[in-house]
Chains A and B, each alone.
Chain A
């Protein structure tokens, strides 16, 4: 069963979002007073210099971390009111991820890596659907290859297939082209936006790549943990 797509309603709302970490020596504010709303179907780039809090913000929006202040409403659910189990369920139903370091499981083949999220949802036909997505990203001949037998670009295409195989309502991407050369990065970027358009997914990505950010219809810039 496909998850219902969000339409018209805001996919993500951040209100007075803030994150402070306390070390033994001092307390460090990474993010503060972040407010925005992202509509369903939007493509949003979060940009900023290293250490500006981009990845922290992505983690908070995806419910992977909890804010110190403020709240995040994801697909109509206030994440601050959900416990870890409920957030996990929500991610399973609505969210997909693409990571800079691919995060493929080294012992599994490309096909097995893509099947993984479907298997976690006990969804029948996982193998066929995973195969379809891999063929869609041009890896039909690499189904049985393990990550170490694939190039960086191929690994990221496997990661894209894995992210879209569950048809998520919202896709979070953390520097999806950060580990790749420009040419390969451009190809990955094409695949990402094509799949995004096909599935009408809300895309929120963190990037340093200006050309990638330019392909999004909205940009959120962070400077020293606050929105510019």
Chain B
């Protein structure tokens, strides 16, 4: 199954996504990490996430850009967890300190759909960053708009779309196919 998981920051999205990816696994289980560490805080965050995944059976693949290249080193007949579209788009859209790729959202959305079509099972984590009362600058809003475009594109091709709020789930799509997996893992 293809599952999109979104919601606010520190709401338990990654934990639920890990359980779903593990629940879907019949053979190999991959964690596709997209974050490119910028400072010590990021390195510590990555280390913490890595420790949390210990013992779950994930093989970690680092793929901060060109997401489909992760398949070069993976068996496609497997269960994947991609965490997250947010970091992936940031890496693709802002490759250097003063360069911006405005075409990144459309390209990344297409690449993610292609990834979804090539693997047996996948859970993709995104971030819901759309309900604050801030008038953003043009570039930040273009990033937000781009991430929302990726979310909507993925929501259309995914079997299940979930919103996580502090560990609780709202199901926006795929209730029937999801219930069996839900009973198994949650």
The answer on A and B forming one complex is: no
Binding site for A on B (CB under 8 A): none
